Each structure stands twice: as C-alpha cells, then as structure tokens.
Amino acid sequence: MKKQRKDSLHKSTKIQTFLRKTSIFRRLIISFLLLIALSSAFITFFFLFRYSNLLEEKIEHTVSLMVQNAALKTQDVMQEYEELTVSFYGDSHLIRALQENASLKETPDSSLYQANKTYIEKRLYHASSEKRNILNMQLVTPYCQYYMMEENGYRRGGCIRNLDEFYKSDFYLLPQKQRGYPTWIETDEQSRTFYQSEQNVYGFGNLITLCVGIYTPVDREFLGVLIVNINLEAFSEIWDGSAASKEGNAFLSGRDGLLMSYSPNILAPSFPKSNDKYEQMLENEKGIIESSADDQIILTAYQRIPSTNLLTTYMVNKDLAFESIYQLRNFCLLILAFVVAASVLIAYFVTKSISQPVDQLISVMKKAGNGEWNSRYPNSGNDEITILGDCFNEMAEKTGQLIEQVYLSEIRRQQISLSLKNAQLDALLMQINPHFLYNTLDIIRWEAMYEANGESRVTHMIEAFSRLCRMGIHAGSNTITLSEGIRHGETYLEVINFRHQYKIELEKDFSIDTEKVYVPPFMLQPLFENAVTHAFGDASKGCRIILKGKIDRDTLFLIVADNGKGISSEECEKLNARMMDSDAFRNSSESIGMVNVNQRIRLFYGSEYGIHVKSQQDRGTEITITLPVRTISEDMKMEVEDEKNGLSGINHR
C-alpha cells in the first residue's frame, strides 16, 4: 500500500515538474482554453435543456389547444340542438295549445284538447326529424306528457313510464331553476327514466338529455319542460382530423364517468375507473393534471363544457410523448459529464503546479511577518514564481537592515499625528464658546430694546449668562459629571427663557446616578441651543425638551428630544453624513454646535461613539449621544507616552 502511494506520489510530482518547465502564462492560457471550452459546452447544453423545456411546454400547450378545440366543437354541436328548442318559443300556436290544454286538463276527451294534443305531438315529431341523432323528443307538462307522432298517427320516440318520479327528478326541476335556459344532463338516471315504450324493460342508453323549460312569452307562466334525448353519436366526429389519437386517447366524460371514447389507442392510457379527480377538474374548468398509474406518468388535459358537467379529456403517457426529448437530454448529460470530468482533472494538475510553490512563498512571508527575517524561499523551478521568490529573499535581506530606521521614523510620525489631534481638539473647544457668546449677546440686545424698564430682568439675564461662562471656564478640558453637564444645559435654558413669555420646559428621565458618570464638557448645551434655534423657531408656547439617560452594558446613551418642527428624512440623512465628515466643523456653518460635539466625542473616544439624529417633519427631533461609561474625570488632551512604552500614546484607552 505504501509502495503504491509512493509510486502515485512520484507520478504526481513528475507531472507537476513537467508542467513547471513552462511559464505560468502558458499554463494559465491552457487552463483558460479549457475553461472556455467547458463554458461553451455548458452554455450549449444549457440552451439545449432550455429548448427541451420549451418543447415540453409546447407539447403541453398543443395538447391543451386540442382539448380546447374539441370542447368548442362539442359546444357547437350542443348549440345546434339548443337552437332547435328555441323554435318552440316562437311557435305561438303551440304556446296557445299548451295554455288551452292546461285549462282543459280535467276534460282530456274534449275535441279541443285532442286537437291541441295532436298538433303538439306532430310538432315534436317534425322538430326531431331535423336532427338524425334525436332518439326521443317529449314535452312534459304538470298534468301530462306529449309524445312524438307521425302524420299517420303512429307514435315515435319514447316515453316516461313513471311521471310521478319524473316530477321529482332533475330532468323536471333543473330546467325550472334555469328559467328557460338549456340544461344538459348526462347521468345514468337517463336509462331509468326514458324508455322506448311502456313495455320495455331497459331504457335508452348511450345518450345525453337536453331539457328546456317552456314559458309564456309575456307573463312567463310555466307551461312544461321540453325533453330532447340525443344519441352520443352526435359527438362522434369531434376529434376527427386530430393527430391526438396517434399517441393518446380522447374521451367525453360526465359526473357518472365515461360517456364515450374517440378512436381508442391500446398503447395509450385508458379512462380511470375511479372518478376521484372529477370534482377537481370541474372546479378548475380546464388544465393539465400529472398523475401516475402502473409505473407510468400520465398527462391528463381537460376542458369543461360551460354550463354543463361534461368534460372533454385527453390522456397520454408522458414518457411516450417526450421520448425523443429524453433521449436527447440523456445524451447531452453524458457528454457534459465526460467534459466536466476531463476538465477538472486537467485543471487540478495545472492549478497544483501553481498553488504549491505559491503556498510555500506565502508560508515564508508569514514567518517574515512574524519577525523571522532569516526565513528564505527555496528555489525549485524556472518560472515566474521562482523569480518572485528570489525578489522576496532580496527584499527580506534589505528589510532586516532597514528595520531600525523605519521603526524610529514611524515613532516620529505618530508623535506629529498625535500633536495634530491635540491641536484639533483645542480648536474645537475654542470654537464653541464664541459661537454661543454671539448668540447670547444678540438675545440680550433684543431684550434690552423691547424692555423699557427692564434693568432687573436684563440684570438677571446677564447674571445667568455669566454663571454659564464661569462653568465653561471652570470645566477646562477635563470631563465633568453628567449632573454638571445637565446644569450647564439648564442654565442655558434659563438664559434663553428670559426672552420667552412661555418658558421652554425641560423634562428629565434618568435611570442612572448622574453624579457618578463623566462626560465631555459643553455637550448638552449646544444640543439645547440647536433645539431652540432650529426646532422651535418662532413657536410661542408648548415648547418642550426631553432629556433621557440610560446605561446598556458598557455604553451610556443620552437622548435629547424636542417637540419642534423637525426636518425631512433627506435633510436628516445629510446632517448625519455631515457629522461623519472629519472636516465638517470647518466646512459648514449649519448645526455647528452639534457637529462640534460629535467631532470631540469621536476624536476622544473613537469613531464607534458620537451623535445620531432621527427626525420627522412636524413631529420633532431625537438626538442620541453614544458614549463609553466613565466613572473618573479624564483630560481630553491626548498625551504621548515615552518612546519606550511603544506607540499607544493615549492615556484614556
């Protein structure tokens, strides 16, 4: 076993060595050619499968059309007989005779009654002679039945032996529900209802019955039911000229099962004895059902004749109908499998000859990345990977010599970068104070203009403003407690409320101890100012700011919400995007306080923290501040540690 494995390994190595005698370019060209050939074969077979599927759909569509065409022909035949019955409505003599006999039903021996009866029965006979497949035509009234009668008085057609049972049957009741519209009945009850004579034991067979209610034209008085028993041979030519009989069998079926078959094919499926799918087909009106019987897949296409329980049905063995398609598909699958197997085998050896030396080079590079600069790539070929390995070995040699110089240079670059961040933080802290001061002085100026005798009010305003300024000077660059930050915001609102008749309300909802959590200074006041300036605008009363705070794991969430006018979703998206821009505080004068706070948080704590704004037009704005939980005060100016401690350089991390 080991020897076989060694021989196999030796052969595999020989193949790889042989392939590596040529360039990677040539190897890849060969691989690409194979892939192209494989792709072409795949595309070819894909379209073949697609064509097969389309052909299957076409066959099913053709079968459906044949069934639909047969259904239309069946309707045409039925319509001919329906038109025959319509002529009785236009026969005023017949209608009058029925009305007169209805009034004379107690004296059937009267001459008028007999004359009317003779006319009606001869009329039935003449109407039936227009269609050769009419077995019997009768007119049944609530008091008697009329037969077919020749001119010489000889009775033709058939009769109903039991009128009492007939009056309870669908033959008599359904036409009355239809109010003069044709009713077709195909059930087995026909042979137990209609007989050639009263003496016959067996009734008519192989027939379908058309029943039409007869009414007076004006007041729609019910006179009786016209019964037409039609031989099913009337539908025998429905499938003539169709190619369906070559592969399958066509049927006409009803509620009680098969009525007739057309050109039966022994090799094709026969009509099922069980009628369990009949209700489903009646409900769906038309379609194709796929079923299995005797290890065969059978396609059954059907179409319901409108306003009847009749179905034109065509059944065919699917494997027989699609035999040529399946043969072509199987042949294509065989070719595809062979091509794929050959392509995979060739691609494996070609890829192995490339991937193995590349893996060796990657392994050496990883060792060098971990500090093992003495690792070298072993040359084992004449291709481009060997040249790449030589270049790496040369690079590793030079890198070992330059590492000290690069390391020291990187330390100096980090020092400069950290100094730049400290300067940027100072600029941000200095920017917000004059911005707020200008707004406050403007408020004081307008208040003084409107207050004629308002020294005391202005004095209070200036006192509150001075207190706010002292808070800012006292805070410096250190973080402050959340409670102190809240007092900053409350003092700002106290100053702002001097100019409002209706005060801006501040609601607080905290589930944390605000004395034990530290946050950056001047964080809430700019957000309050943003609400006063942009959210409330000229609103006179009802203005409210809601401040909430909670801690989830190691993250502090502060929410500043207002009931102001809000902004559109597009403006909100632009505002959030502007706050993510590190240069936004220099490039935009809009919402400068909010952008300032966001940049200070991101620079000090990291990009995963900051401000996010949600707003709806006329529904208010909600600003969420995300901070890490801090329980001690920190200096927001970054300091660089000694070089001996590495490159971390940030004391709050």
Per-residue model confidence as pLDDT tens digits over 139-198: 999 999 999 999 888 999 899 999 999 999 999 999 999 888 999 998 889 999 999 988
Q: Are residues 123 and 257 located together in one domain of the fold?
A: no
303 pairs with which residues across the strands? 286, 312
CATH number of the domain that residue 196 is part of: 3.30.450
Q: Are residues 438 and 544 located together in one domain of the fold?
A: yes
Domain that holds residue 227: 87-235
In a domain, residue 61? The reply is: no
Q: Are residues 143 and 208 located together in one domain of the fold?
A: yes
CA angle 623, 627, 630 (to 5 degrees): 145
Strand-pair category, 145-146 with 555-562: unpaired
In a domain, residue 471? The reply is: yes
In a domain, residue 333? The reply is: no
Q: Are residues 145 and 98 located together in one domain of the fold?
A: yes
Q: In angstroms, rounded to a whole number, what is the distance separating the alpha carbons of residues 376 and 393?
A: 6
Strands, DSSP E only, in 238-389?
248-254, 257-262, 286-293, 296-304, 311-317
Q: Are residues 290 and 216 located together in one domain of the fold?
A: no
Q: Are residues 205 and 265 located together in one domain of the fold?
A: no
Q: Residue 255: its pLDDT value, please?
A: 82
Token pair in block for residue 170: 């669908």
Quick one: which H or E segment has residue 332?
helix 323-369
Return the amino acid letter for 262: Y
Q: Of 289, 307, 322, at which residue does a domain stop?
A: 322
In a domain, residue 332? The reply is: no
Q: Are residues 93 and 154 located together in one domain of the fold?
A: yes
In a domain, residue 531? The reply is: yes
Q: Of 304, 322, 340, at which residue does a domain stop?
A: 322
Q: In angstroms, rounded to a whole number, what is the distance separating the alpha carbons of residues 500 and 126?
A: 105
Q: Residue 583: its pLDDT value, please?
A: 59
In a domain, residue 361? The reply is: no
Q: Are residues 508 and 427 located together in one domain of the fold?
A: yes
Q: Are residues 150 and 297 located together in one domain of the fold?
A: no
Q: Are residues 508 and 610 located together in one domain of the fold?
A: yes
273 versus 644: which is more confidently predicted?
273
pLDDT at 211 over 50: yes
In a domain, residue 383? The reply is: no
Q: Are residues 267 and 122 located together in one domain of the fold?
A: no
Q: In angstroms, rounded to a whole number, what is the distance separating the alpha carbons of residues 351 and 344?
A: 10
The count of C-alpha atoms lying within 13 angstroms of the C-alpha of 335, restricted to the half-sphere facing its C-beta, is: 16
Classified as helix, coil or strand, 218 is: coil
Q: Residue 599: its pLDDT value, please?
A: 84
Per-residue model confidence as pLDDT tens digits over 31-73: 766 776 667 677 766 766 676 677 677 777 888 888 888 889 9
Q: Residue 533: its pLDDT value, please?
A: 82
What total of structural domains would you count in the chain? 3
pLDDT confidence of 622, banded at 50, 70, 90? very high
Q: Of 194, 212, 235, at which residue does a domain stop?
A: 235
Q: Are residues 605 and 500 located together in one domain of the fold?
A: yes
CATH number of the domain that residue 503 is part of: 3.30.565.10
In a domain, residue 365? The reply is: no
Asked if 550 and 617 touch (Cβ cutoff 8 Å), the reply is: no
Strand-pair category, 544-552 with 505-510: parallel
